[in-house]
Structures are given as structure tokens and as C-alpha cells.
Amino acid sequence: MSRIKEFNLPDLGEGLTEGEILAWLVKVGDVIELNQPIVEVETAKAAVEIPAKWAGEVRSIFHPEGTTVEVGTPIIAIDTDPGAGPLPESTTAAASADLPTPSAASLAAVQVAPAEGMVEPGLIGGVAPGGRTAVLVGYGPRNGPAKRRQRKDGPPQQPATTPRPAAPAQVATPVAATPVAPASVAAVAPASVAPTVNGNGRAGGPVLAKPPVRKFAKDLGIDLATLTGSGPLGSITRDDVQRAVDGSTVVAEPLAATSPTTSAASFGADREQRIPVKGVRRLTAENMSRSAFTAPHVTEFLTVDVTRAMKALDRLRGRREWRDVRVSPLLLVAKAVLLAVRRHPMVNSTWAGDEIVVKEYVNLGIAAATERGLIVPNIKDAGRLTLRELADAMTGLVQTAKAGRTSPADMSGGTLTITNVGVFGVDTGTPILPPGESAILAFGAVRELPWVHKGKVKPRQVTTLGLSFDHRIIDGELGSKFLRDIGDFLADPEAALLAWT
């Protein structure tokens, strides 16, 4: 049995097909232990450290950092018994070293066997008569030297042959010819002495201008070759032509190599950045596109006075058992959502084509913005947690996401999501449903605004909620009641708890 074992990139779950190698945690020559993390890989969902399947010495690393590797591809070779001495030389290599080098004639006589699945002659992609390849319509180009058609007004063309270098004597020796008439010389000289200037401000070449600009100049009798273009790459614009009509244009002159020039603004690839779409960004794009064009979205908004909720949070922070707990408005929003789901369980469901699956558990997703993009990890069975357990779970979830350590399991199976756009100073939004979910709530910023309270206008803490839902499952009445219950809890948490529990 071979001591060298190749470790393939494993399937990290959810049917992932590839991953990007972010960082190697070992190098060639390192002695590693069983289950020791050896590489950090970013999948379409998260960055994951992969442990070693065997203990031993790292002999080879097949892919550098930044490479995208398909699942099942070898990424590292490990010597599982480095203490057994040096590895024996490959017998295959030794045998091949003794083989004589084949001659060109013998290589030319070798006939390659057709590969499995090769297309039969005459079919599309196969060999056709004359050595050509059959394509969708007709045949591809014929093999062999190209042939020119004979011109009607000229002498017959000679068959195309391989060009041969001219003899030095023929190049250096002047050719005697009939003297050229002075008139002919005079006719040619002006073209070489006074070159024309194009839209680039350079001698020779076509004028750069769009067809509408050319027509505009032609109608006004303006010669484009006399203008200096101010557009991209020195092209002539409509304004350049208009300035020529007004008499304020400068006639183009050939550019001097010694005089400094100011180039026009460039709008090409040199001022563009191309970012590969991969990993979390690609997964997010695929999910959002699929959801937006599959589930009919409806979004409703509700503005709520949350002054009492903010005061309740202050009292909660002051309690001794809560002093080390991170308490934020998002905690009360999550509790409000969980209590509203109990009153309207149809909101926590999934469209399954021929049926609607209503779930008795709530895997509450919390959208988190990370350096790698937007991810939505979820708290499993959040409805069974106490408020203190929910606070701890949310804190751990956010910290793990920002550190890039969220596992694929934590991002799968979500049933309902909250996105806190208020942390960016935004009032609310129209969020897109994560695939497989029927509702998502946008929680906006809490602001001090004038509000009518007990018949008087007073400054109050106000926020705006935005609820998007799948209209195949949730109709307007159900969505409105669900959103209203969330608002009622945030307006008066103590009264809602007493009334609903």
C-alpha cells in the first residue's frame, strides 16, 4: 500500500461543487496530526477550515491560494509513514528513462485510437469528406493550402506557395526604370509634405466621429479632418463641430513629440475594475434572482412609536443578571416576530408546488453583512428559547459571521428572516425573500421624531418596519395582521406579553 495519500476537496454540504482556497495552514515538509486544520476554503456559503484525514508529513500542495477547486480534486499529498525512510524511486520513471527516444518517422506512423464517445464521420463534429469537419450548417474550412480565385481584369494567379526570403543582392541593387515625368513627381509630393490630420489630432488615419456627428458636420459644411476632437480617444463630438461653426474652434495641427499635451478623459478598461463573481457573492446573486422571479413579492410598511420598547431595554440593561448581555433593539424585534408567528403560523411556511408546508419550528435568520458579502445564518428552533437564550444566540451568531467562521449548516434550513437595515441609518427597505421562505422583515433606524402622543405633539422614538411576503401563501389580510402584531409588541412590550402569553 502506498504511503503517499492524496487528500481530495470534500463536499462540505448542501451539494457544493467547488471552493476557493483562501489560505494554506501548513506547508511542504510540515508534520501534521490527524484532524489538524490544514487549509481554509471559502465555499459558496462560508469560509471553512478543513482538517487532515491522516497524520504524517506534507509532501505536496497541488493548488496555491486563490485557486478555485472542484469538489473531489486532490489538493494535498501526505506521507502517512514518514519514519519509514526515504520513498523508493518510481519504477515507472526508471523504466521510462531506459527507453530510447522515438524518431520522427516512427511518431508519424503511429495511429491514435479514437477516444470513447468520438463522433462518427459525417455527423456534426466528426470528420467529413476532404478532411473537413462537419458543423451545424455545411462544413468547416478545408484542410490544405489556401487558393485564390483568379481576377477577371488581371493575369492568372499563381498557386499559393510558401514564401521564400529574397536574396540580399536583389534588395540592395537599385532597379533601372524609365525616368518618371516631373508632373508625376509634383502630384505625389504634396501628399507626403502636408499630411492630413484626423480626429485624433494625428496625421493620417480615419477621423473618429459617430455617424450623427458626421451628418451634422456635413450639413454645416465642416471638414472633420480640420478639427481637434475632445471626446474619448480624441474623437470629434457634436460640441466640437458647433464650436467650429461659432468660430471658436482651434484647427488641429500635427502633434509634436517635444511639446506636452493634455489627453482627453479616458473611459476605457484602464479605468475599470473587474471583480470575479464567486463564493458568497455568486450564491447571493443566484438566490436573489431565483427568489425575485419566482415568488410574487408584496411589501407593506408600518411606522411605530417604540419609545416604551426603548425604555424597557434600558430597564433590562440595568438588571444585574443582564449586565454582561448585549441588549439591542433587534432583540425585541426578534421576540416580537417569534410571538407574532405563534399567532399567525401560516407566515412560517414554504411553497412546495402542490402543497404548502407549514412549519411548527422557527429557524430565525438574521442577515449579516460581512467582508465576503451578505450571509443569513439562522438560530435553530428560536421559538423555544427564552429572551436571555435568544440574546446569547444572536450575539454568537453575529460574531461568528463577522469573523467569517459561519458553517454551512448554520446557513441552511431558515424559515423566516430579519434584516436590520437600521444599523446603516436607513429607515426601511423592500427586502427580497430568501429562497424557501415566505416572509422577511426589514427593521429600520430608530429616530427621534415629532409624534402625536396623548393628544400632544412630542418627540418620540420612532421606527419603520417593512414586511415582504410571498403572495402565493400570504394574502394581504394575513400579512397586515402579522405586521400589526409586531408593531403592537414594539409599541408596548409589557402589555403584549401579558395579553399573548
Reported as type and span, the H/E element at residue 343 is helix 329-343
Of the candidates 377, 278, 276, the residue with the CA atom closest to the CA atom of residue 16: 278
Of the candidates 416, 413, 440, the residue with the CA atom closest to the CA atom of residue 429: 440
Contact present, 365 and 287 (Cβ < 8 Å):
no
| Distance, CA of 410 to CA of 498 (rounded, Å) | 33
Of the candidates 405, 486, 380, 398, the residue with the CA atom closest to the CA atom of residue 49: 405
Contact present, 427 and 338 (Cβ < 8 Å):
no
Q: Number of helices (H) and strands (E), helices first, in the chain?
A: 12, 19
Reported as type and span, the H/E element at residue 74 is strand 74-79
Half-sphere exposure of 307 (CA within 13 A, CB side): 11
Q: CA 393 from chain center: how many Å?
A: 31
| Distance, CA of 469 to CA of 479 (rounded, Å) | 7
Residue 339 in grid coordinates: 410571538
CA angle 209, 214, 215 (to 5 degrees): 155
| Distance, CA of 16 to CA of 29 (rounded, Å) | 30
Contacting residues for 195 by C-beta, under 8 A, at least 6 apart: 203, 204, 254
The single residue of 63, 297, 344, 471 carrying the catalytic annotation is 471
Cα–Cα distances (Å) from 176 to 179, 180, 186, in that order, read 9, 12, 21
Contact present, 306 and 446 (Cβ < 8 Å):
yes
Residue 394 in grid coordinates: 444572536
Establish whether 471 is a catalytic residue: yes
Residue 308, number of CB atoms within 10 A of its CB: 16
Contacts of the segment 190-195: beta carbons below 8 A, 24+ positions apart: 195/254
Buried b / exposed e along 198-237 (16+ C-beta atoms within 10 A): bbbbeeeeebbbeeebeebbeeeebebeebbbebeebbbb
Residues with a catalytic annotation lie at 471
